[in-house]
Chains A and B, each alone.
Chain A
Amino acid sequence: MAAPNPPVIEFCDIARVYGTGAAEVRALDGISLKVEKGEFVAVMGPSGSGKSTAMNIMGCLDRPTAGRYLFNGIEVGTLTRDQRALLRRHYLGFIFQGYNLLARTTALQNVELPLIYKGLGRAEREAAALAALDKVGLADRAHHDPSELSGGQQQRVAIARALATGPHVVLADEPTGNLDTKRSVEIMELLQALNREDGLTIVMVTHEEDMADYARRLIWMVDGKVQSDRRTKGDA
C-alpha cells in the first residue's frame, strides 16, 4: 500500500528499451528519482539523453520496460491503457512545445476539453475553464480561435487547459521552444508564479539554461542516466 505521503513521482531503477538485439536502444538506463509535491523541476540534457522518454513515462503515456514507476504511490506499470487514461484525466496536465490546441476551436472550448472527459456539466465546465483562462491572463480572449492568438497566447491557453482539471502535476515539454525570449520569459514567470503561489508541482523539459533557472531544481540527463541533480540559481 501507499505510504502516508508518497512522492508525486517516484522512479525506481527505470529502464526503457526500444527495439531488440543489435537494434536495441536503451533510452532510459536505470533511472531513480523522486519529485515531491510542490516542486518545480527542470530536466535538461543533450538530444537523445532520454528526457522525452522520461516525460512520457511520467505522463503515463508510456510504460517502463523494467523498474517501477509510482505515481502518488500507485504502481503505474501494471495499469491498463484505460486506467492510465484515467490517471491523466484526473491528476496530470500537459504542456507541449507546439501548444497542441485544437484548430477552429475557441480558447474556451480548448480549455474545456479535459473537463468534458472529466464529466463536468456545461455550466460547471465553462466556469472552471474561464477561471483557468483568467489565471493565465486570457479571460478576454476566451472566444478567439488559436489562429487569432499569438504564440505566447496560444501557450497560455495550453497552460490553462493543463490547469483546468486541478492536476497534481503539470508536465511541460519544452514549453518555450517555439517562442522568442520575451514571450518565453512571460511563460516562465507564469509557471513560476503558479508553482510559488499555488504550490503547483511542475516538471519541465528544456534546452535553455535561462529557462531552467526559473525552476528550483535541475536534473541533468546524459545517455539515459541522471548525471546531476541539484538546486538551481533561481531556488531562493
Chain B
Amino acid sequence: MLWETFKLALQAILRNPMRSFLTVLGVVIGVAAVIAMVTIGKGSTAQVTADVQKMGANLMILSPGQMRFGPGNSGGSERAFALSDVDRIIDQIGSVETAAPSRTSSLVAVFGNTNYQTRVAGTDSRYLTASDWAVAEGRSFTTAEESAGKNVCILGETVRQELFGRADPVGERMRLGAMSCQIVGVLAAKGASSFGTDQDDVVLIPFKFFGRRVAGNMDVPTIYISVRDGFSIERATNDITALMREVRRIGPGEEDDFSLRDMEQVASMLNSVNRVLTGLLSAVAAVSLLVGGIGIMNIMLVSVTERTREIGIRMAVGAQAGQVLLQFLVEAIVLSALGGMLGVALGLALAALGAQLLNVPFTPDAGTIGLAFAFSALVGVVFGYFPARRAARLDPIEALRH
C-alpha cells in the first residue's frame, strides 16, 4: 500500500514536471547552499590543520602586548622586542631550534614598467628555517648581508610572476618603494593560506635593511621561534616566558606584556572564526529551505483543490481519511525529497567548484549530506501536512460534485 502510494505520488509529480521543478526550487537552493557552505567550511578547516602541519606544529610566534579586548588596553603602548632578544632566545633556551625577527610593511615593487603592491618582510634566513620554507631559485641571504643590512631581496612566487613573468629574476635589480635592491633568490610556492591570503605575495629583505630604510629603528614586533623536534611546546613556552619576563624586567605578580602563541592556538583561533562564518552562512541558507517549504505547501494546496473530484472518487470507492492524508503527505515528501536530492547534487558541485577556487580540499561529508537530505524530507512533512489534512477532511459528496 505504501509502495502504491509512493508510485502514485511520483506519477502525480511527473505529470507536471515543470511545475514540480519550480515548486521544489526553493528547497533545491536551500539544500545546495547548506551543503556548499558546510563542505567548503570543512574543507578550509582541514586546510588550516594541514597548513599548521606544514608550517610545523613546533612553530611559535612571540609578539608584544596581550591579546585582550575592551578598555584599558590601548594600542601603541606595547614595548617591542630588540634584535638581541632573538639571540638570547636561541642561545639560552635549549629546546629552541632557531628564532627569527620579522617586521612587515606594504610597499610598491617596481621592475621596468611594472608596478606591484606587495608585502615586504624584514627578516633573516633563520625565518626560512623556522617556517620550513625553501628557496627555489638563487639563494638565501648570507650572514654578511644580514649583519650589514645589505639591499638584497628574495621574491615570493606571486611577486616573481607579476614582475618577471616566466623570466629568471635572480641577479636583477628592482625597486621597493624608494629603495633599490638586488634579487638573490625566489621562494618555493606555498599557495594560499587558510584564509585565502596569498602567502607567495611577499618580498623578503634583511631585517637590518628594513629597520634602517623602512622602519627607521630596529624594533622587532614579531619573533618566530621553532622548537626542536622531540621537545615539548609547553616546556619551551614556559622557558621563553620566564626569559622574556626577566629581560623585560617584569616583577613577580605583574602580567606579561607579551604573548606567545603556538600554531595549535593559531589554528584553533582560525577554525573558530571559520566555524562562526560557516554557521552564519548556513543559517541564511536554511531560511531558503523554509521559503522552499512554503512554496511546497502552496502548490500542494493548489493540487488538493484541482484534484478535489479525484479525492471524492477515492473516498467513494472506500479510501479512508488517513489514506487520503497519507497520499498527499507522501506526495509532498517525495516532492521535497527530490528537491533535496537535486540540492545535494548541486551543492556538491558548487562545493567542488568553490574548493578549487579557494584552494581548499574538497571534503564531502556523508553526515552533512544525510542531514540536509533528511531535513528537506522533514520540510515536506511539515509543509505537506496542512494541505493533506485539508484533502482528508473533504466531504465526499461535495468533492464528487466539484
Contact = CB atoms under 8 A, between A and B. Distances in A.
B318 A100 contact: no
Nearest to B318: A89
Contacts of A118: 318
Nearest to A86: B318
Contacts of B315: 61, 85
Interface in B307-328: 309-310, 312-323
A165 B316 CA distance: 13
Interface in A42-71: 56, 59, 61-62
A117 B318 contact: yes
Given A100-B309, A104-B15, A94 B322 contact: no
Given A81-B321, A117-B319, A102 B396 contact: no
Interface string B135-162: 0000000000000000000000000000
B400 A116 contact: no
Interface in B286-332: 309-310, 312-323
Contacts of A113: 313-314, 317
Contacts, number: 56
Contact of B313 (A56, A90, A102): A102
Q: Secondary structure at chain B's binding surface: helix, strand, loop or mixed?
A: helix
Contacts of A94: 316-317
A114 interface: yes
Interface residues of B, number: 20
B366 interface: no
Interface of A: 56, 59, 61-62, 81-82, 85-86, 88-90, 92, 94, 96, 100-102, 104, 113-114, 116-119, 161, 165
B322 A88 contact: no
A88 B317 contact: yes
B357 interface: no
Given A85-B321, A102-B310, A113-B317, 19 more contacts: A56-B397, A61-B315, A62-B397, A85-B319, A86-B318, A88-B316, A88-B317, A89-B317, A92-B318, A94-B316, A94-B317, A96-B400, A100-B312, A100-B313, A100-B400, A102-B313, A116-B4, A161-B317, A165-B318
Contact of A117 (B317, B321, B396, B400): B317
Most B Cβ at <10 Å: residue of A100, A118, A165: A100
B346 to A, nearest CB: 30
6 contacts: A59-B316, A61-B315, A61-B316, A88-B316, A96-B400, A100-B313
B303 to A, nearest CB: 14
Contact of A85 (B15, B310, B320): B320
Given A56-B397, A100-B313, A104-B15, A116 B1 contact: yes
Contacts of B322: 82
A165 B397 CA distance: 21
Contacts of B309: 100
B392 to A, nearest CB: 10
B394 to A, nearest CB: 11
A92 B15 CA distance: 31
A90 B320 CA distance: 12
Given A61-B396, A62-B397, A117-B323, A85 B318 contact: yes
Contacts of A61: 315-316, 396-397
